[in-house]
Structure formats: structure tokens, C-alpha cells
């Protein structure tokens, strides 16, 4: 997660974006004309509502990410907090590449007059980045395609595990009726059990041989 200053014709706006590092997918973003922490928390809430909780949130040591509102929200949500140390700018290199592409592919080609124009232009470009822009590190696939493929594979494993009779009494709602955020929660809840069950199966096979 990072913040960037975007030039307009007569003023500036600040953009914050939350990115999935593995797939380079932009999960949420917000713009603001101030550097208060509110628009960062709003972007975080939007990302969680749409994609579920992350294991770790990495940021720099900007005052927005050192604020009580930000840290308290992450701690209460059970998300691990990771902050880049002084001089470790390469820790956020993926977001830095996103900013460079956004500037030269969108911002510098426009001279937005209003905040609504900027929001519309950024929205179109991020939609293009997520769903249509091929990425060499992802085998030429757009980030969002790889993101959903990876999560669907993980959720299929959880669905099979959830349907096992040993765990049928844990949850009374059918898997197909669960929303994406609920499935993500199950994925995080049952991941240790999945690993334990896989290890047990491997040990059983080795005993037979």
C-alpha cells in the first residue's frame, strides 16, 4: 500500500492504492485533497469488503500509516502490520512500478480540471491495468485473471475440505451460498487443518510403502 501525489491543471490530489503483491492486482484505491488517514482507512475497508482480510499489510512509515485509526483497525482485524525501514524503498517496488505506469500511461497525458474528472480517469486506467493489461511476470496474463484463478484454486480446496463429514457440523450454511468474503474467512480458518490433514495422508502412504 502506498500514496502518490497526482498533478492536475491547477492543484494536486493524493491517491492511495492497495495492491496484491503476488498478482499486482489493485484491490482498492481512493483519492483525497488532504493527507489525513481517513481516505486510507476507507480504501482498506473497501478492499476487505470486496476481497476479505489479508494476512499482512505492508506500508511505508508515513504518518497516515502510523496513525491510531489505521493501526487500531488492522490490529482489531487480526492483520499483521509490516512497515518498510528507513532506506528500504525496494520493499515497495511493485507499487512504485504501478505509479510509474499510471503517471506515464494516464496522468501526464491529461490535465484534469476537477476531482471527478481525475476519479473517472484513474478508474478507467486501473480497470485496464487489472483486467486487460498483460504482465510479463504473470505469463502475459492480466493481474485480475491470475488473482481470481489463484483464489478459486484455494477455495476449491477449502470447499472439498468443508464438505468432509468430520467438519460438516462446524458450519450450517451450504458452501455455494457463501459470499466471497465468507469463503476467504473459511480459507484462513481451515488452512492449518488442511495442512495437518495433508501431512497425515502423506505419513499414511509412507507407512503402507
Categorize the per-residue pLDDT at 23 as very low, low, confident or very high, splitting at 50, 70 and 90. Answer: confident
Residues of the chain with CATH 3.30.420.10: 2-133
Average pLDDT over residues 119-123: 94
Mean pLDDT across 168-175: 42
Tell me the HSE value of 75 on the side-chain side, using a 13 A CA sphere.
8
CATH superfamily placement of domain 2-133: Ribonuclease H-like superfamily/Ribonuclease H (3.30.420.10)
**What per-residue confidence (pLDDT) applies to 72?**
87
Give 38: exposed, middle or buried? Use CB within 10 Å, 0-12, 13-18, 19+.
middle
Per-residue confidence at 90, pLDDT binned at 50, 70, 90? low
Sequence-distant (≥ 6) Cβ neighbours of residue 196 within 8 angstroms: none
Amino acid at each position: 500500500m502506498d500514496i502518490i501525489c497526482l498533478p492536475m491543471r491547477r492543484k494536486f490530489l493524493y491517491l492511495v492504492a492497495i495492491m496484491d503483491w503476488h498478482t499486482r492486482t489493485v484491490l482498492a484505491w481512493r483519492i483525497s485533497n488532504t493527507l489525513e488517514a481517513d481516505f486510507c482507512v476507507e480504501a482498506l475497508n473497501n478492499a476487505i469488503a470486496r476481497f476479505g482480510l489479508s494476512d499482512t499489510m505492508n506500508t511505508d512509515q508515513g504518518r497516515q500509516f502510523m496513525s491510531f485509526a489505521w493501526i487500531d483497525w488492522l490490529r482489531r482485524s487480526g492483520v499483521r502490520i509490516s512497515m518498510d525501514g528507513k532506506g528500504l524503498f525496494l520493499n515497495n517496488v511493485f507499487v512504485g512500478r504501478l505509479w510509474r505506469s499510471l503517471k506515464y500511461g494516464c496522468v501526464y497525458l491529461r490535465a484534469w480540471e476537477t476531482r471527478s474528472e481525475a476519479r473517472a480517469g484513474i478508474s478507467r486506467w486501473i480497470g485496464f491495468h487489472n483486467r486487460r493489461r498483460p504482465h510479463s511476470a504473470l505469463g502475459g496474463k492480466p493481474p485480475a485473471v491470475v488473482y481470481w484463478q489463484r483464489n478459486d484454486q484455494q477455495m476449491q480446496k477449502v470447499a472439498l475440505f468443508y464438505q468432509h463429514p468430520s467438519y460438516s457440523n462446524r458450519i450450517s450454511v451450504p458452501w455455494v451460498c457463501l459470499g466471497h468474503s465468507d469463503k476467504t474467512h473459511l480459507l484462513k480458518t481451515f488452512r492449518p487443518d488442511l495442512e495437518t490433514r495433508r501431512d497425515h495422508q502423506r505419513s499414511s502412504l509412507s507407512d503402507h510403502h
